[in-house]
């Protein structure tokens, strides 16, 4: 029988020989991207591959994950829903507003959302937060993984509109989306500085570290609004 321990609300570590990250499956019996299913004490868990998910990597890099069972999340860059599915597991009584702008990818995300009542698929450009203002309520967490050059600005503009004053911003910053030649460390410093100073609202960085060895040239950032 695998052993299970809680790392953070809704996030677990399964030990069965080796340790693996997992969430409790909101859609029992179904896997999303080939992850394993385990039953422990009457609940089904899905393993969570940190190499496939920047949020998963952030958990292992000891970020304090600000997600609770009833959290509302605005997720920018949902792609086909690998990470969204785990967020959906974690915020089982909350909501994941999943924004993605590629119609092709959205097709997969729709399949996922049809099976998960707390995932709201939105085909839109996260760079234009006003285009989904008629759908999205204020949220506890803005999560962003769009891998675009202006990712910090996109995060800030969405936070300005949707983040509750005590909410958190979680960001994956990809060094190569910004400047392919520059030194990633320098890129990360610049992006963090932008978040602290360049936009309205300004952020207070709570944690920022790279996501090695799970993702190369990626920085994870946890921030909240500056008072």
Partner 1 sequence: MKLEAWFGTLDLCEDGKVLASDLFSKNVRELALRSLSLREPGKGIPPAGFELRSAALACGFVESPEEYDFLLHEVTLEAAKLQVSGAITPDQRIILAVEALDDINETVNVLSERLSEWYGGYFPESGLSGEALALFVAKYGSRKNVDPENPLSAKAADSMGAELETLDEALIKGFATSVCSLYDRRKQIEAYIESSMENIAPNLSLLAGPMLGARLISIAGSLKKLAAFPSSTIQVIGANKALFKHLRSRAPSPKHGIIYSHPMINTAPWWQRGKISRAVAAKLALAARMDLYSGEKVPSLAEKLDAKVQQIRAMNPEPPQKKQGDGMKSKPKGKKKRRQ
Ligand X SMILES: C[S@@+](CC[C@H](N)C(=O)[O-])C[C@H]1O[C@@H](n2cnc3c(N)ncnc32)[C@H](O)[C@@H]1O
- Report DSSP state, residue 195: I
β-sheet bridge partners, residue 179: none
| Neighbouring residues of 6: CB distance < 8 A, sequence distance ≥ 6 | 12, 13
d(CA 111, CA 81): 9
Angstrom CA distances, 17 to 2, 7, 25, 31, 62, stand at: 8, 18, 21, 21, 22
79 binding partner (options ligand X, partner 1, none; Cβ < 5 to 8 Å by kind): ligand X
**How many residues sit in the footprint of ligand X (CB under 6 A)?**
19
- Distance of closest approach, residue 119 Cβ to partner 1, in angstroms: 8
130 binding partner (options ligand X, partner 1, none; Cβ < 5 to 8 Å by kind): partner 1
Residue sitting closest to ligand X (CB): 77
Out of 77, 94, 121, 167, the residue judged to bind ligand X by CB under 6 A: 77
The nearer residue to ligand X, 25 or 82, going by C-beta atoms, is 82
| Neighbouring residues of 112: CB distance < 8 A, sequence distance ≥ 6 | 32, 80, 81, 84, 85, 119
103 binding partner (options partner 1, ligand X, none; Cβ < 5 to 8 Å by kind): partner 1
> What is the binding site for partner 1 (CB under 8 A)?
95, 103-104, 106-107, 109-110, 113-114, 117-124, 128, 130-138, 160-162, 164
């Amino acid at each position: 029988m695998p052993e299970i321990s809680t790392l953070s609300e809704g996030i677990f570590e399964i030990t069965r020989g080796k340790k693996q990250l997992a969430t409790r499956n909101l859609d029992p019996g179904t896997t999303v991207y080939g992850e394993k299913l385990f039953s422990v004490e009457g609940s089904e868990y899905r393993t969570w591959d940190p190499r496939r998910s920047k949020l998963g990597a952030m958990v292992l890099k000891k970020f304090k994950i600000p997600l609770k069972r009833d959290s509302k999340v605005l997720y920018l860059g949902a792609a086909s829903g690998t990470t969204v599915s785990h967020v959906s597991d974690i915020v089982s009584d909350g909501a994941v507003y999943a924004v993605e702008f590629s119609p092709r990818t959205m097709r997969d995300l729709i399949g996922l959302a049809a099976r998960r009542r707390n995932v709201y698929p939105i085909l839109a450009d996260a760079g234009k937060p006003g285009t989904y203002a008629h759908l999205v309520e204020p949220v506890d967490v803005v999560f962003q993984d769009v891998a675009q050059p202006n990712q910090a600005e996109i995060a800030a503009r969405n936070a300005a509109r949707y983040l509750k004053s005590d909410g958190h911003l979680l960001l994956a910053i990809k060094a190569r989306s910004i400047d392919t030649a520059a030194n990633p460390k320098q890129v990360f410093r610049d992006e963090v500085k932008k978040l602290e100073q360049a936009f309205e609202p300004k952020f207070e960085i709570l944690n920022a570290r790279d996501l090695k060895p799970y993702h190369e040239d990626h920085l994870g950032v946890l921030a909240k609004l500056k008072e």
